[in-house]
Amino acid sequence: MGEEEKEQGTVRYVRCAACGTWNPGTGDNCSHCGKPLKKGVKESPSEAHPPSPKAPAQAFCSNCRKPLPLNSKFCGYCGAPLPAATAPSSKPEEPGTPAQPVATTGLPKKVETPTSKVPRSVPPPPVLTTPPRSPRRAIETGPPSPPLGELARGTQGFAGLRPPTIEASIIEIKPDGSRGKKLSIGKQAVIGRAMCDANYPEDALLSARHASLENRGIKVILKDLGSQNGTFIKQRKDSELSNGDIFLVGRELFRFVTKDTAPPAADMAGEGTLVMTGAPMFQASTVSAKLERIQINGQVAEEFKLEKPETVIGRSSGDLVFKNDPYMSGKHAKITQRMGVFLLEDCKSRNGVYRRIQSETEVVDGDEFFLGEELFRVEIKTVEA
DSSP tag of 182: E
21 closest CA partner among 83, 62, 70, 55: 70
Assess whether pLDDT exceeds 80 at residue 234: yes
In tens, the pLDDT along 192-215 reads 999 999 999 999 999 999 999 999
Q: Which amino acid is at 139?
A: I
Q: What is the pLDDT of residue 132?
A: 56
Q: 339-350 pLDDT, tens per residue?
A: 889 999 999 999
The answer to whether 366 touches 265, Cβ cutoff 8 Å, is no
Residue 15 reports pLDDT greater than 60: yes
pTM for this predicted structure = 0.54
Q: Residue 105: its pLDDT value, please?
A: 44
Task: Delimit the CATH 2.60.200.20 region(s) of the chain.
Answer: 162-230+357-384
100-120 in b/e form (b: 16+ CB < 10 A) is beebeeebeeeeeeeeeeeee
Residue 172 is predicted with a pLDDT of 96
- Tell me the one-letter amino acid at 294: I
The structural architecture, per CATH, of the domain 231-261+285-355 is Sandwich (2.60)
Of 154 and 70, the structure prediction assigns the larger pLDDT to 70
Instruction: Choose the CATH number for 162-230+357-384 among 3.40.50.720, 2.60.200.20, 3.40.50.1980, 2.40.220.10.
Output: 2.60.200.20
* Best CA proximity match to 168, nearest among 367, 376, 384, 381: 381
